[in-house]
Amino acid sequence: MQPDRCHECGFDFAGDRARLAARCVSYPGVLADLLKSADRHVVQRRPGAEVWSAIEYVAHIGEAVCWYVGRIRRVLKEDLPQLAPFDFDAAAEEGDYHRRSIDEVVADLRTACRALADLARSVSGSQLSRCGLSSDGSPRSVALLLTRAEHELVHHELDLRRGLGLAPTQ
């Protein structure tokens, strides 16, 4: 069962497509400002062995949003598709996230957020209940996938701020 709020970042899981679309418009600029205001070495350095660097978090967010967009599009096109999991840690290593430039990861994030915002604005009420099956066999509705994609944005902004030594926003 989905909680009402994330205990760590405070995200409210009550889905709001207008909120998501608006967040997607401003979000890439917010993260670009955070990355560009920090020391380049801090942006690329992992603060701990199991903690991604700031640049890796932003690259991950762009990839995760694309992954959610693909899942949502698939659920909208197919009847009850089987949705495969994704190994984000492996993708970070294979994609050399830590070697990417700020401009590159922000451009990828902007493209992903634009696609997510377009989906959030365009799905109809009846489409929100369409489902795919996760790797554990549980249903994932379009509404839930949109909400989880937005949670990626909120939660990882907190991770990014922590990694840069900045206070979280309220």
Specify if 72 maps to a domain.
yes
Amino acid found at 11: F
CATH number at residue 53: 1.20.120.450
Specify if 168 maps to a domain.
no
Quick one: which H or E segment has residue 131?
A: strand 131-133
Sign of CA dihedral 45, 40, 152, 96: negative
How many domains is the chain partitioned into structurally?
Answer: 1
Q: Encode the chain (170 residues) as per-residue pLDDT tens digits.
A: 567 899 999 999 998 999 999 999 999 999 999 999 999 999 999 888 888 999 999 999 999 999 999 999 999 999 999 999 999 989 988 989 988 999 999 999 999 999 999 999 999 999 999 999 998 999 999 999 999 999 999 999 999 998 898 877 75
Using alpha carbons, select from 112, 113, 120 the residue that is nearest to residue 143: 120
Record the pTM. Answer: 0.93
Specify if 8 maps to a domain.
no
Domain that holds residue 91: 17-163
Specify if 121 maps to a domain.
yes
Specify if 39 maps to a domain.
yes
Specify if 26 maps to a domain.
yes
